[in-house]
């Protein structure tokens, strides 16, 4: 949200160093319609789609059989990772449109929707550092989105992640860098939105090659927990060189280890959940070698650590 609202522009305006995309470039994540139109214009592989600013028109298209099910309905704007609904049939898709555009479940994010083809395959989160010219890839990771075991239940922001090099073999990684990442950085520059910072491509490895599910303009959560624990360089130096426009490949080195993060969430998430539940045992868990417990939805009340969000802890090893 700060990037989409222009924090980088504000820092630059007063001469402060900052590593991230400006407001215009952050639209890649801030608007699904912007991202899809951009990808179509620059022939970056992604699911077929149409966008609608009117619930009636979207419902009419669904009823008229313009889509094959399942379809994916996406709220246009930021929705804390919850604005993507996979719909198995007409009834579910009409309900999704009603929820997003009429009941305004995600507020102004539902002014417009994208309806797109459902892609099948293995999902991979692929992130890069870029200063707008040079692009350096991070190690790949895989995020686990469904709330329950066995890929069941509604999508969340991510219930866990792991990172290991073989998630993306060299050949596909090369293809992703060329056809997706570099095409995006070049396309954004030529559209007048030079992109610096972290670009995250959520990919589906389909039988027809890798396709973009979504872009984020930041680190992923919980992917960051498994990626940065493999970073064997100083993150501040990387950010500094992005801010200076001088990203240097020798600054970004990775460990070969495999890492995993399990998210502990509040009961009820991604629906309504309780806050303020006391948390104990973090020190004990974190005292194990190669283990860190990252805190997300936590807070301190009267000197006691308590839960304060849906996704509370990221136990990473």
Give contact residues for ligand GLY (rule: CB under 6 A): 81, 143, 157-158, 216, 220-221, 223
Please identify, using beta-carbon distances, which residue of 76 and 143 lies nearer to ligand GLY.
Answer: 143
Q: How far apart are CA 317 and CA 314, in angstroms?
A: 10
CB of 209 to ligand GLY, least distance (A): 22
Q: Please state the closest distance from residue 35 (CB atom) to ligand GLY, in A.
A: 13
**Min separation Cβ 1 and ligand GLY, Å:** 13
Closest approach of ligand GLY to the CB of residue 147, in Å: 13
220 vs 310 by CB, closer to ligand GLY: 220
Pick 81 or 270: Cβ nearer ligand GLY: 81
Q: Which of 23, 234, 214, 7 is nearest to 116 (CA)?
A: 214
State the pairing for strand pair 135-137/113-117: unpaired
Q: Nearer to ligand GLY by C-beta: 124 or 243?
A: 124
Is 46:214 a contact under the CB 8 Å cutoff? no
Q: 1 forms bridges with which residues in the sheet?
A: none
Contacts of 302 (CB under 8 A, 6+ apart): none
Closer Cβ to ligand GLY, 52 or 81, answer by number? 81
Short-list 68, 52, 12, 24, CA closest to 188: 24
Can you tell me the distance from the alpha carbon of 71 to that of 62, in angstroms, rounded to the nearest whole number? Answer: 10
Please report where in the chains the tokens 């990172």 appear, as a residue. Answer: 163
Shortest reach from residue 30's CB to ligand GLY, in Å: 13
């Amino acid at each position: 949200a700060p990037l989409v609202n222009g924090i980088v522009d504000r820092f630059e305006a007063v001469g402060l160093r900052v590593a991230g995309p400006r407001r215009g470039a952050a639209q890649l994540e801030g608007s699904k319609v912007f991202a899809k139109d951009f990808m179509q214009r620059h022939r970056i592989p992604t699911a077929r789609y149409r966008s609608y600013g009117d619930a009636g028109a979207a419902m009419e298209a669904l009823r008229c059989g313009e889509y094959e099910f399942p379809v994916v309905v996406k709220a246009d704007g930021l929705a804390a990772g919850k604005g993507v609904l996979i719909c198995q049939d007409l009834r579910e898709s009409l309900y999704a449109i009603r929820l997003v555009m009429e009941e305004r479940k995600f507020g102004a994010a539902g002014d417009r929707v994208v309806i797109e083809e459902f892609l099948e395959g293995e999902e991979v989160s692929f992130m890069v550092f870029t200063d707008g010219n040079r692009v350096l890839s991070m190690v790949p990771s895989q995020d686990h989105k469904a709330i329950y075991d066995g890929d069941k239940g509604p999508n969340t922001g991510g219930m866990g992640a792991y990172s290991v090099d073989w998630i993306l073999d060299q050949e596909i990684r090369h293809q992703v860098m060329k056809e997706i990442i570099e095409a995006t950085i070049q396309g954004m520059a030529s559209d007048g939105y030079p992109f610096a910072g972290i670009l995250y491509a959520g990919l589906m490895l389909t039988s027809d090659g890798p396709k973009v599910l979504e872009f984020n303009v930041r680190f992923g959560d919980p992917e960051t927990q498994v990626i940065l624990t493999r970073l064997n360089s100083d993150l501040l130096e990387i950010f500094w060189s992005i801010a200076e426009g001088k990203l240097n490949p020798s600054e970004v080195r990775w460990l070969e280890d495999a890492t995993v993060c399990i998210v502990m969430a509040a009961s009820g998430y991604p629906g309504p959940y309780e806050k303020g539940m006391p948390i104990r045992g973090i020190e004990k868990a974190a005292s194990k070698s190669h283990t860190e417990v990252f805190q997300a939805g936590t807070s301190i009340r009267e000197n006691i650590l308590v839960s304060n969000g849906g996704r509370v802890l990221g136990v990473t090893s």
